Structure 1
Amino acid sequence: MLESDTTARPQWLKQRIATVLAERKRNPITRILRYTYGGQTVYYISAPCCDQYSNVFDTKGKLICQPDGGITGKGDGKCPDFDKNKTNEKLVWQDPR
Protein backbone atom coordinates (compact mmCIF):
# COMPACT_ATOMS: atom_id res chain seq x y z
CA MET A 1 0.00 0.00 0.00
CA LEU A 2 1.38 3.37 -1.00
CA GLU A 3 1.73 6.12 1.53
CA SER A 4 -0.87 8.76 0.76
CA ASP A 5 0.24 12.28 -0.08
CA THR A 6 -1.38 14.71 2.33
CA THR A 7 0.31 17.90 1.11
CA ALA A 8 -1.79 20.64 -0.43
CA ARG A 9 -2.66 19.96 -4.05
CA PRO A 10 -1.90 22.66 -6.62
CA GLN A 11 -4.96 24.32 -8.18
CA TRP A 12 -4.28 22.85 -11.64
CA LEU A 13 -4.28 19.37 -10.11
CA LYS A 14 -7.58 19.96 -8.31
CA GLN A 15 -9.03 20.97 -11.68
CA ARG A 16 -7.73 17.77 -13.30
CA ILE A 17 -9.37 15.70 -10.55
CA ALA A 18 -12.67 17.57 -11.01
CA THR A 19 -12.50 16.87 -14.75
CA VAL A 20 -11.98 13.15 -14.17
CA LEU A 21 -14.88 13.02 -11.71
CA ALA A 22 -17.15 14.81 -14.20
CA GLU A 23 -16.52 12.08 -16.79
CA ARG A 24 -17.67 8.51 -16.66
CA LYS A 25 -15.54 6.18 -14.56
CA ARG A 26 -12.48 5.00 -16.41
CA ASN A 27 -11.22 1.45 -16.51
CA PRO A 28 -8.56 1.31 -15.29
CA ILE A 29 -9.33 4.06 -12.80
CA THR A 30 -7.29 7.25 -12.85
CA ARG A 31 -4.45 7.41 -10.34
CA ILE A 32 -2.25 10.39 -9.57
CA LEU A 33 1.15 9.73 -8.03
CA ARG A 34 3.81 12.15 -6.84
CA TYR A 35 7.49 11.41 -7.36
CA THR A 36 10.87 13.02 -7.24
CA TYR A 37 12.35 12.89 -10.74
CA GLY A 38 15.21 14.87 -12.23
CA GLY A 39 15.68 16.76 -8.98
CA GLN A 40 12.12 18.06 -8.85
CA THR A 41 8.68 17.05 -7.63
CA VAL A 42 6.48 15.71 -10.42
CA TYR A 43 2.96 14.36 -10.74
CA TYR A 44 2.21 11.23 -12.77
CA ILE A 45 -1.35 10.85 -14.06
CA SER A 46 -2.21 7.39 -15.35
CA ALA A 47 -3.59 6.86 -18.84
CA PRO A 48 -7.34 6.37 -19.20
CA CYS A 49 -6.92 3.35 -21.44
CA CYS A 50 -4.88 1.28 -23.79
CA ASP A 51 -2.55 2.97 -26.27
CA GLN A 52 -3.02 6.37 -24.58
CA TYR A 53 -0.17 8.18 -22.87
CA SER A 54 0.28 8.65 -19.14
CA ASN A 55 1.42 12.18 -18.32
CA VAL A 56 4.09 13.63 -16.03
CA PHE A 57 3.68 17.26 -14.96
CA ASP A 58 5.83 19.62 -12.92
CA THR A 59 4.42 21.36 -9.85
CA LYS A 60 3.09 24.21 -12.00
CA GLY A 61 1.11 21.85 -14.23
CA LYS A 62 3.46 21.97 -17.23
CA LEU A 63 3.67 18.69 -19.14
CA ILE A 64 7.20 17.29 -18.87
CA CYS A 65 6.79 14.00 -20.70
CA GLN A 66 4.67 10.95 -21.33
CA PRO A 67 6.71 8.04 -19.97
CA ASP A 68 4.47 5.17 -21.03
CA GLY A 69 1.56 4.27 -23.25
CA GLY A 70 1.02 4.87 -26.93
CA ILE A 71 1.34 2.27 -29.65
CA THR A 72 4.76 1.09 -28.45
CA GLY A 73 3.96 1.34 -24.74
CA LYS A 74 7.12 3.41 -24.32
CA GLY A 75 5.52 6.87 -24.28
CA ASP A 76 6.80 9.91 -26.14
CA GLY A 77 10.49 9.16 -25.56
CA LYS A 78 11.15 12.41 -23.66
CA CYS A 79 11.84 10.64 -20.35
CA PRO A 80 12.86 7.06 -21.14
CA ASP A 81 14.54 6.79 -17.71
CA PHE A 82 11.42 7.76 -15.74
CA ASP A 83 10.64 4.30 -14.37
CA LYS A 84 14.27 3.71 -13.43
CA ASN A 85 14.93 7.11 -11.82
CA LYS A 86 11.65 8.14 -10.15
CA THR A 87 11.77 8.03 -6.32
CA ASN A 88 9.66 8.89 -3.26
CA GLU A 89 6.41 7.51 -4.66
CA LYS A 90 3.27 8.86 -2.97
CA LEU A 91 -0.33 8.27 -3.94
CA VAL A 92 -1.94 11.70 -4.35
CA TRP A 93 -5.40 10.60 -5.52
CA GLN A 94 -7.26 7.81 -7.19
CA ASP A 95 -10.81 7.72 -8.47
CA PRO A 96 -12.92 6.46 -5.56
CA ARG A 97 -15.86 5.38 -7.70
Structure 2
Amino acid sequence: MNKVVHFLLTLLIMFAASIAPAQALLKGGTWQELNSVTGAVNGTAPLADGAIIPLYQGSTLLDPTKTHDIEFSAMPRDFSADATSTSMRAVNSTDTERRSL
Protein backbone atom coordinates (compact mmCIF):
# COMPACT_ATOMS: atom_id res chain seq x y z
CA MET A 1 0.00 0.00 0.00
CA ASN A 2 2.82 2.39 0.85
CA LYS A 3 4.45 1.78 -2.55
CA VAL A 4 1.20 2.61 -4.36
CA VAL A 5 0.82 5.90 -2.49
CA HIS A 6 4.46 6.75 -3.14
CA PHE A 7 4.05 5.96 -6.85
CA LEU A 8 0.88 8.06 -7.16
CA LEU A 9 2.51 10.96 -5.32
CA THR A 10 5.50 10.78 -7.67
CA LEU A 11 3.18 10.86 -10.70
CA LEU A 12 1.33 13.84 -9.27
CA ILE A 13 4.55 15.77 -8.69
CA MET A 14 5.80 14.99 -12.21
CA PHE A 15 2.49 16.09 -13.70
CA ALA A 16 2.49 19.35 -11.71
CA ALA A 17 6.08 20.06 -12.71
CA SER A 18 5.28 19.62 -16.40
CA ILE A 19 2.19 21.87 -16.25
CA ALA A 20 3.83 24.81 -14.44
CA PRO A 21 6.09 25.93 -17.33
CA ALA A 22 3.17 25.80 -19.77
CA GLN A 23 1.05 27.99 -17.49
CA ALA A 24 3.91 30.48 -17.11
CA LEU A 25 4.30 30.70 -20.89
CA LEU A 26 0.60 31.34 -21.35
CA LYS A 27 0.58 34.18 -18.80
CA GLY A 28 3.75 35.89 -19.97
CA GLY A 29 4.31 38.01 -23.04
CA THR A 30 1.87 39.45 -25.52
CA TRP A 31 -0.53 37.47 -27.65
CA GLN A 32 -0.03 39.80 -30.59
CA GLU A 33 3.34 40.60 -32.10
CA LEU A 34 3.23 44.30 -32.94
CA ASN A 35 6.39 44.34 -35.04
CA SER A 36 5.33 41.56 -37.39
CA VAL A 37 3.59 42.08 -40.71
CA THR A 38 0.86 39.95 -42.20
CA GLY A 39 1.51 39.22 -45.84
CA ALA A 40 -1.02 39.19 -48.61
CA VAL A 41 -3.82 36.64 -48.36
CA ASN A 42 -4.82 35.33 -51.78
CA GLY A 43 -2.94 38.25 -53.31
CA THR A 44 -4.77 40.90 -51.25
CA ALA A 45 -2.91 42.94 -48.63
CA PRO A 46 -4.79 43.41 -45.33
CA LEU A 47 -6.59 46.75 -45.04
CA ALA A 48 -8.06 46.39 -41.54
CA ASP A 49 -7.98 44.27 -38.37
CA GLY A 50 -11.33 42.71 -39.26
CA ALA A 51 -14.79 43.30 -40.62
CA ILE A 52 -18.36 43.54 -39.37
CA ILE A 53 -20.62 41.34 -41.47
CA PRO A 54 -24.36 42.15 -41.59
CA LEU A 55 -26.34 39.38 -39.90
CA TYR A 56 -30.05 38.84 -40.50
CA GLN A 57 -32.63 36.92 -38.52
CA GLY A 58 -35.17 36.28 -41.22
CA SER A 59 -35.56 39.68 -42.89
CA THR A 60 -34.52 41.68 -39.79
CA LEU A 61 -31.01 43.16 -39.78
CA LEU A 62 -29.38 42.65 -36.37
CA ASP A 63 -27.44 45.73 -35.27
CA PRO A 64 -23.94 44.64 -34.12
CA THR A 65 -23.78 47.45 -31.55
CA LYS A 66 -26.86 46.22 -29.66
CA THR A 67 -27.78 43.12 -27.69
CA HIS A 68 -30.65 41.12 -29.16
CA ASP A 69 -33.04 38.72 -27.46
CA ILE A 70 -33.32 35.57 -29.55
CA GLU A 71 -36.07 33.03 -29.01
CA PHE A 72 -34.95 29.71 -27.57
CA SER A 73 -36.56 27.94 -30.52
CA ALA A 74 -34.45 29.87 -33.10
CA MET A 75 -32.45 27.58 -35.35
CA PRO A 76 -29.23 28.34 -37.28
CA ARG A 77 -31.22 28.20 -40.52
CA ASP A 78 -33.18 31.27 -39.29
CA PHE A 79 -30.04 33.41 -39.66
CA SER A 80 -28.16 34.57 -42.73
CA ALA A 81 -25.14 36.78 -43.39
CA ASP A 82 -24.34 39.12 -46.26
CA ALA A 83 -20.63 38.51 -46.84
CA THR A 84 -20.28 40.53 -50.03
CA SER A 85 -17.38 42.95 -49.97
CA THR A 86 -19.69 45.96 -50.46
CA SER A 87 -21.76 45.16 -47.37
CA MET A 88 -18.90 44.61 -44.89
CA ARG A 89 -17.63 47.39 -42.62
CA ALA A 90 -13.92 47.54 -41.77
CA VAL A 91 -12.77 47.32 -38.15
CA ASN A 92 -9.71 49.51 -37.42
CA SER A 93 -9.13 50.46 -41.03
CA THR A 94 -6.02 52.41 -40.02
CA ASP A 95 -4.27 49.14 -39.26
CA THR A 96 -0.59 49.42 -38.27
CA GLU A 97 0.25 46.52 -40.56
CA ARG A 98 -1.11 48.38 -43.56
CA ARG A 99 1.36 51.24 -43.11
CA SER A 100 4.33 48.88 -42.94
CA LEU A 101 3.54 47.01 -46.18
- Indicate whether the TM-score tops 0.5: no
Quick check: which one's strand share is greater?
1
Q: TM-score, normalised by structure 2?
A: 0.24
More helix by share: 2
How does the TM-score come out when normalised to structure 1?
0.25
